[in-house]
Amino acid sequence: MTEPFRTTRRIEFADTDMAGIVHFANFFRFMEAAEVEFLRSRGLTVAMVWEGQRIGLPRVSASCDFISPATFQDVLDVAVRVQSIGKKSITYSFEFSKEGKPVAKGQVTSVCCKVAGDHHLESMEIPAGFRAKLEA
């Protein structure tokens, strides 16, 4: 995937903290929302029934570097790239920028899981058809 998937995010008042900037933990929510938008563009999502099996894609690792602050009402550009697809996991990278200037760069790894009964999660191979849509 050479060209990233692109979306935007408008900063809300509740995203800010007393330092007057977006609270750093919110970038992880923003990454997840961008991941979901990317998946939606491929007809996928993070919690769905796939070929009769409930699957989920919980995050097993996440990181972010905060380069310059974002503030209330900024509209951030978000670029999502699939960095790698393993047997069971997907690693995404995210770049947030404002008018071309970098704001934050992050990475998230999600693992494909069967969801059984009451919230029980067990990792599984990414189904072939799901993978095909990711790689399309």
- Give catalytic residue positions: 17
* Token pair of 68 as six digits: 């310059």
Q: Does 84 bind a second copy (CB under 8 A)?
A: no
First vs last C-alpha separation in the chain = 8
Per-residue interface string for the shown chain with a second copy, residues 24-43, x marking contact by CB under 8 A: xxx-xx--xx--x---x---
Q: Does 119 bind a second copy (CB under 8 A)?
A: yes
Q: Does 75 bind a second copy (CB under 8 A)?
A: no
Kindly indicate which of the ranges 52-60, 74-82, 85-93, 126-134 contains the residues binding a second copy, using the contact rule CB under 8 A.
52-60
Concatenated DSSP letters for 78-113?
A: EEEEEEEE-SSEEEEEEEEEETTEEEEEEEEEEE-E
Residue 40 CA to residue 38 CA, distance in Å, equals: 5
Contact positions vs a second copy (CB under 8 A): 12-14, 16-21, 23-26, 28-29, 32-33, 36, 40, 45-47, 56, 58-66, 69, 71-73, 115, 118-119, 121
